[in-house]
Amino acid sequence: MRGRRWVPLLLLLGMTSSRAAGPTITIDTTTPAGKVSPLFYGLMTEEINHAYDGGLYAELIQNRAFLDDAQSPSHWSVVEGTGAAATIALDRGQPLNAVIQTSLRLDVKEASDGRAAGVANEGYWGIPVHPRTRYRASLYAKAAPGVTGPIALAIQSDDGVTTYASGTISNLTREWKRYEVTLETRDVPTTAHARYLVSMNRPGTIWLSLVSLFPPTFKDQPNGFRKDLLQMLVDMKPKFLRFPGGNYLEGDEIVDRFEWKKTLGPLAERPGHKAPWGYRSSDGLGLHEFLLWCENMSAEPVLAVYAGYSLKGAHVNPGPDLEPYIQDALEEIEYVIGPTSSKWGAQRAKAGHPAPFPLTYVEVGNEDFFDRSGSYDQRFAQFNAAIKARYPRLKVISSVGFEQPEARRVRSVTPAVVDEHYYRPVDTFLKMARRQYEPYDRKGPEIFVGEWGAYETPFEPWNPRSRGEAPTPNMRAALGDAAFMTQMEKNSDIVVMNCYAPLLVNVSPGARQWRPNLIGYDALRVYGSPSYYAIKMFSTTVGDEILKATATDTDILFAVTRDSRSGRIYVKLVNPTDADAPAQIDLENSTGLLPTATALTLAADSQATNSIDAPRMVIPIESTVSGVKSGFVYTVPARGIVVLTLATRR
């Protein structure tokens, strides 16, 4: 800690006064030192921690297509009772179609009025029940000869005692047919101790497939997103979304990669796939939904294309073997931006979106520094040439950044952008916050910090002890994150994009694979970690010009930008120490500065955090700062993150 001798005891948070010496931050408000990248800040996503299935993708039925397990219908159970008996089994003899080749056979052996037997789904750690809510239930069904139903659908308590909403399907036939019913709750209590029941009150055999239940979705979009979760993301005003991964892009083996074509179209045409984080993906949230997700946030896609390397080490040789994968990537880009006269642009239009989506950046692979075959250099060059030949305006990102040894980087061509990933302890982030990007060559390549997150304790996914720790970061980690953001923002002329990872975690027992994560949720609730609020504070106050700022005699980390249209100046201050830190703020050439500013402050004990049961322990507080003029003193509270918004007369 540097000299604090002069600190006046009476300085309180937000109080200002004029001083002549000591800790000082000097901001040149006239000459911008560079342009802030228009893509500050963004989000990164993949299917991890039940981010989509059991998360953002609003489907409530787990294993709806009966494909999750080859042996038994996991997450489903028989519901019987006195005078009501049934059996269930996976049946490969009655496939829905060539894509969904397994169905569920339900044999109701004994049942009568008031004594129904059937099968129940446990949902993703419960079915969320809300009062006065309409649920969209659908399923495919066929029946044995002579059986016509009816089938009863119900959202009911785990113990079957209370029915919250119900509906009926009748006139079943021997052919597969899709049925849809609205289930509506009345003044029921909010609970997730509920299950979804499909039952009959007559003996008979039926087969079921794609049993689906959706609550109201964001903007009522069909096959859409969970409202509260997407709203948390919209509130961050992200400029881009990096998808589909992450490891999720690559898959364990080549056959497990994110095959975008298999994620399009009606749900009955999506087989889903084995994902790398220990559970299957339904692919209900597929390429088209990723794009709609971006659009819902007014964010631009940053599309990662599969590049011929998968997690367990298999790679595709550069040259002719790689050509089909390159073709596939070009077609994927065509789906995103091609005209409706193109093959894949027409498919996009058929899916309801004739207008192309915005796209500037395409990433080739993910973390290809793990490829010990040394093939990435050539694979990248081949993808890069093909993408640039077809789409000259696109910028192609290498998945290996300067944080990796030179031998693993792309050397035969110069990538337009390189992606760097940093999962490091808080102390390392605090060090990186002082200098990381200052020495980077401004001539390029541009830097994309495509995954980053500070952790308080080392995370070892393979270590059971790590699994017991909180799913989301505490205040200390948020300080490391915020400090690193000041460094990225100061250097956002060359660091053109950044996104924290992982984004989402279902905090229910057994649902997560990683920590820390930004946003936690269960079936009913959602909360932001301190890091979520830190990022939101930064991402909603980004100017378009970097202002030059220097500091003397202070541990405060800072970044200053200005919005050239409104004249607002955003001063971001991070005090990672345990003592309040006053600093004199000198504003050179600040004519027209208004004497009143706003301060958004996130400050708490290091260990303080938010959780699913205590979601608002650490949240930003807004206050007014008066006496703002060049030389005013502002005190950043201990373990505090502050965004000062200074206004100027226009």
Catalytic residues: 367
Q: What are the strands, taking DSSP E only, across 385-494?
A: 395-398, 417-425, 446-455
Residue among 204 and 502 whose Cβ is closer to ligand AHR:
502
CB 46 within 8 A of CB 56: no
Ranked by CB distance to ligand AHR, the top (closest) residue is 246
Minimal distance, residue 46 CB to ligand AHR, in Å: 5
Taking each helix axis from N to C terminus, what angle separates 426-435 and 475-490, rounded to the nearest 10 degrees? 20
Minimal distance, residue 254 CB to ligand AHR, in Å: 17
Residue among 42 and 246 whose Cβ is closer to ligand AHR:
246
- Counting other chains too, the contacts that 505-508 makes at CB distance below 8 Å and 24 or more residues apart are 505/49, 505/50, 505/51, 505/471, 505/472, 506/49, 506/50, 506/51, 506/54, 506/55, 506/124, 506/125, 507/471, 507/472, 507/611, 507/612, 508/50, 508/54, 508/124, 508/125
Q: What are the strands, taking DSSP E only, across 264-394?
A: 273-274, 280-281, 300-305, 361-364
Residue among 141 and 241 whose Cβ is closer to ligand AHR:
241
Which strands, in side-by-side order, build the sheet including 85-91?
85-91, 103-110, 204-214, 134-143, 177-184
Sign (positive or negative) of CA dihedral 159, 165, 171, 172: negative
- The vertex-64 CA angle with 60 and 69, nearest 5°, equals 125
Between CA 484 and CA 487 the distance in angstroms is 5
Minimal distance, residue 306 CB to ligand AHR, in Å: 13
Binding site for ligand AHR (CB under 6 A): 46, 48, 245-247, 366-367, 451, 501-502, 514
Between CA 427 and CA 69 the distance in angstroms is 43
DSSP 8-state class, residue 182: E
CB 142 within 8 A of CB 179: no
